[in-house]
Amino acid sequence: MPATPPRSKPMNFLLVHGAWHGGWCWRDVAGRLRQAGHAAWTPTLTGLGERAHLLDASTGLQTFADDICAVIECEELDEVVLVGHSFGGLVATLVADRMAARLKQLVYLDALIVPAGQSGMSILSPEVRRERSRTIDAEGLRMAIPSPDRFGVTDPVQAAWLSRRLTPHPLKGYTDTLDLVHPVGNGLPCTYVAVTDPWYPPLAGVRDWARRQPGWQWREIAAGHDAMVTSPESLTQLLLDIAS
C-alpha cells in the first residue's frame, strides 16, 4: 500500500474582523481551516456583532487589543498566525506590539495600517473622512453601517447575510491614536494581502506603504474587500500557503 502523506502540523489561526463586522464573518474560512486540521478562533470585538450591547464611551482601540490578547491568554495560544482584516489590521498591530512572543506571523488582509501616533481616521482621504463623519450617531459613539457593496459584496444572498449581521462601528476605535512601543509588526514575519476584484479605494495609500516595507511579503487575491465572504475557498488556501 502507498504510504499516507504526512499531515501538516496543526496551526493556530486567530482571525480578527474589520469595522462593522463580527467574528461571524469568518464562518466559511474558519470551517475550512478546521476541516484541514488546524485551529481557528474568530472572536468578536467589544461593541460589535453579538457584543454590540457592550459598547460605551470608553470602547476603543485599546479595548479591541485587550479582547484579542485575552483570547491568546485564556486559550493558552502560541505560534499564532494573527490575521487582521481591514480595520482589524490596527488591532493586529497593537496585539503584536504587546505579545510578539506568542505569535508566529502577521497577515494583513486588505488591512488598515497606520504609523504610531496616528489614527485610523487620520490617514483616510478627506473625502472618506467627511463621508464617515456624516454617519456618526447623535451620541457620538457609532458610525452607521455602509451597504454591503462597499465591501465588494454584490451577490444578493451574501449581501443579505451581511445586512442582517453588520452593526454600527464604535467611533472611538477610528479616532484613537495608535500607541506603539515597537515598529509596526514588532519584528514578526508580515504579509500584506491585497484584494483586486475590485480594489478597495480607501486603502490605496496603505497598500503603497506595505509594498515598500523591507522583508514583508506581498500577495494578492482576486476577490472583493470582504474576501472571507465572497471567496472563502481561495482565501483559506492563501492563508494556509502563507502560514506554512
Catalytic pick from 8, 58, 86, 133? 86
Grid cell digits, residue 57: 464611551
CA distance 42 to 136: 27
Q: How many CB atoms lie within 10 A of CB 113?
A: 24
Please calculate the CA angle 47-96-234 and round it to the nearest 5 degrees: 75
Q: At what angle do helices 61-74 and 88-99 cross, to 10 degrees?
A: 60
Sign of the CA dihedral with 84 first, then 86, 88, and 93 last:
positive
Q: Is 122 a catalytic residue?
A: no
Cα 50 to Cα 3: distance, rounded to the nearest angstrom: 46
Q: Rounded to whole angstroms, how far apart are CA atoms 202 and 225?
A: 11
Supply the residues annotated as catalytic. Answer: 86
